[in-house]
A and B are shown apart, each in its own frame.
Chain A
Amino acid sequence: MITVKGISKSFKVPRRSAGMGQALKSLFRREYTVVHALSDISFSIEPGEIVGYIGPNGAGKSTTIKVMSGILVPDSGTCTIMGYTPWRDRVRYVKRIGVVFGQRSQLWWDVPVIDSFELLRDIYDVPEREYRDTLDLLTETLDLKHIVNTPVRQLSLGQRMRCEIAASLLHSPSVLFLDEPTIGLDAVSKIAVRQFIRTINKEKGVTIILTTHDMNDIEALARRILLIGKGSLLYDGSLQELRSRFGTRKTITADYMERQEPLAIPGVSIVSWTPERAVLSVDTEQVMMSEALTRLAEQVDLLDVAIDTQPIEDIIVQLYKEYQIS
């Protein structure tokens, strides 16, 4: 469905140091640095997948999305999506995709949301009946009923984002690119957006590529992740696999009856300790969890135990370190 092969893209960025002298100098001679936003990115995506595209700021996530949605022309490489090359067959291709840029707006600021929707209906030439059906579905699942007749400038960010997502789906695209769709949203709106993404993926079979900094988005939605850093693809695989490769550490928080001697369990490091409470870190590749717990129970009278998996953020940070990205 989507095949990306060896995409590279670099930008020429003017730069100068601070100060008057430098500013004047740049009037005559401007210095540029070439930023390699993407170098040799390749992957392929099957229909109906939800793929999380993650990486630090400036890694090239948005650039990849822009290349895949036909906005930017890469320096080299090929990209075939549903048989089209996005930047070459732009007009025919974009009819079949939807794009949401979380930091930008596609709705007309001064007029009610519904006016923007109707304009999009005409831009994408959606038949009236189909438009009605899609709009009804979107209104219901995204809970837009009370906001579509309000001018966009009076909507809250969460309401606006729901409208933005609806606007990108009015023409029933087969592929949906979401560039940070949950940026700036509160927890409730985030959950609503995630729920919706899952629904359209399941019911309409829409292929979804999602970039985000919110690891909860990824955990809730994506079975597969692509990790990009400094323009290169670093990891392509499932979240579980990433976890099992890098996230083998688990944390045990134990409360127990007061005991003055410190704990000592082989293979388990102690993060913090008080006479009533200890936080332990276990590498499950070296010590079985049951083993660690048994030893713990032998040494203290346990009141409460909590076991936490390493949060995905930590794994990503660890990965960045491993690949020396910062």
Chain B
Amino acid sequence: MPTVSVGRDRLFAALGRSYTQEEFEDLCFKFGIELDDVTTEKAIIRKEKHLEEEEPSEDEEVIYKIEVPANRYDLLCLEGLSQALRIFAGLDPIPTYTVATISKESMLKMHVKPETSQIRPYVVCAVLRGVTFDETRYNSFIDLQDRLHQNICRRRTLVAIGTHDLDTIEGPFTYEALAPKDIKFTPLKQTRNFSADELMEFYKKDLKLKKFLHIIEGSPVYPVIYDQKRTVLSLPPIINGAHSAITLKTKNVFIECTATDLTKANIVLNTMVTMFSMYCERKFEVEPVEVTYTDGRSYVSPDLSFYQMEVPLSYLTKLIGVSLPAHESACLLNKMQLHAKHSISEKNEASFTISVPPTRSDILHLCDVAEDVAIAYGYNEIPKITFPSVKPQLLNKFSDLIREEIATVGYTEVLTWILCSSKEISTMLNRAEDKTAVINGNPRSADFEVVRTTLMPGILKTVGHNKDHPKPIKIFEVGDVVQLDEKKDVGASNYRKLAALHCGSTSGFELIHGLVDRIMEVMGTPFVSPGDKTGYYIESSNEPEYLKGRQAHIIFKGEKIGTFGIVHPQVLHNFDIPDPCSFVEIDIEKFL
């Protein structure tokens, strides 16, 4: 996106009030531009010269660097920017630009020679009469040309602008294409005469101009504009002549835009004249120039006519998603510099005739008008309309993510039964009777007496039945256990647990400990010192199903969430497991 640098104080003066930076940023945000940087001219120079350590002085003029949309050429200078914001704020009406009424005979003329079609076929021109320049306006006038050249003109390939002091030259003018050696003139900032081919060589050393030479270099003819006395106005798109250079004292400005793209030439010319006609004696009035071709074609430029569009109100409200009364829509359109004439169609539908001013070349379609209305209405004021969508079941999705992580570090998932015998959750685990268990009233066999309160028996039974499986056996399960819960309507609740086991010629206690660390790592939990509640630590424990001295609690954010250890040999014996095992069980709901 192009960036425009404007003096803050001058901008605020033009806007008729001052803003805090925050207020101004907010205004920019709503309008669709962005305050990119706040700096000073001296700071920019310091930065260029790498003198950043130098202290800035108080009196430096603050410069706002403002990013503007790439299709809004009318915002590329202080004049256009402040005008757009004033209209947006409702301070100013939309200016009406007019082309001065002059008879064809007294109109300035630019005659285009057919040779130009070989290199740069189009030219459009205009005159600004009675302009009052001061240093600021003059600089802005030059800067706007630079920015247009950089952006829409695509570094002068599509369009090049020449501006001249009309009082130093005399029409009619001719736009020609001649052999380089036949073009001779004194270019801007030079004191001697050059031929065009000489000049091309000369500018190869010019940092600013050398990047434009390729546009015409190698062509047998170069484009050139002469006045009646054969004074060279310019050698587009490279340089203007020194003779017609504009100064602070210039009153009447002749503008010519030569181009390979006529549409863009007109946009560029319109941008130049609309922005600076505000400094003309007759404000917003531009004097036309007739462009004639040898083959008889001719047109008058600039074309400042309004582009008319018919917009049904319903189109705007449907596209934006708000209902707007017609008068309100018209106000919103006006804020964006679009004239709107309200009418009722034959079908009794409200409609607008929109007049797009010549400054708004970005408006191509009704959708552009709709966007402007939406901006003026406020993007963030548009009510949201939601689509039906579904949300995931947090616990289950989360369990799936953990399951994948455990599997990727080499543990195989097992899926065991919820139901088991009561001794499998008590005596077989060296534990007393589990008073928290849900008891089945009519089990068909002892295998279905209770609902598991731990994943341990299922996992141990799996190992007991896989004695022939090559060691080590590394398995895990993520599943629910059920425990009595007075707070629940039915008196019992599910709890999501994770269990893993290592079985081999050694118990693999350190491996299960490592798995605990890994689980904590993928939970993004740091390992902390005992007592610290910001992460997890391990604290030795004394649970009957584990071997004494080889077991520990896992403390997560100050809360015990699980235990791991070497399974007690008596428990292993109870489940008919001949090999040592280490086991971990964690309450994963605590991670949510």
A binds B: no
